[in-house]
Amino acid sequence: MPKPLWAPWRLEYVQQADELDRCIFCEPEEELLVHRGEHALIVLNKFPYSSGHLLIAPRRHLGDFGLLSDEEALEVHRLGARGVEALRAEYAPHGHNLGWNLGRVAGAGIEDHVHLHVVPRWNGDTSFMPVLADVKVLPEALVRTAERLRPHFS
């Protein structure tokens, strides 16, 4: 008999995934906001690939990557570098994925506000769970992850 896998904190997110009536970057949830800079901000991904999955976006609502100002592009990428360092210090991942998903066909869940993904990775983190059970195991609540990462940006 299979053992149940409990993640009750995710139910709220899953139920509201398609009902979002606001931009998560323009109106971020404070408990998931890691850092707010002059031109860009960092929030935790509510549907992370792994614990510590950061989303870095310009503060200006912008859906076209090519329209980023020099200041926005610079701050987003500098925060990406700081995010890598913060994750390295707090979680000691073995590597990171950084990337932009531009357009729905490219995997963008939010098309109308460009954002950079910073995803910590560990050896063996692509375990059998996503393949066999369509489940990801996250060992830490998102609010706790935000609390751990905020001091790295103050």
In this structure, the chain runs to a length of 154
* Alpha carbon distance 114, 73 (integer Å): 11
Is 77 an active-site residue? no
Q: Please, are residues 30 and 53 in contact by the beta-carbon 8 Å criterion? A: no
Neighbours of 87 (CB within 10 A): 25
Q: How far is CA 50 from CA 17, 59, 122, 135, in A?
A: 18, 24, 9, 11
Catalytic residue from among 77, 115, 117, 152: 115
Residues that are catalytic? 115
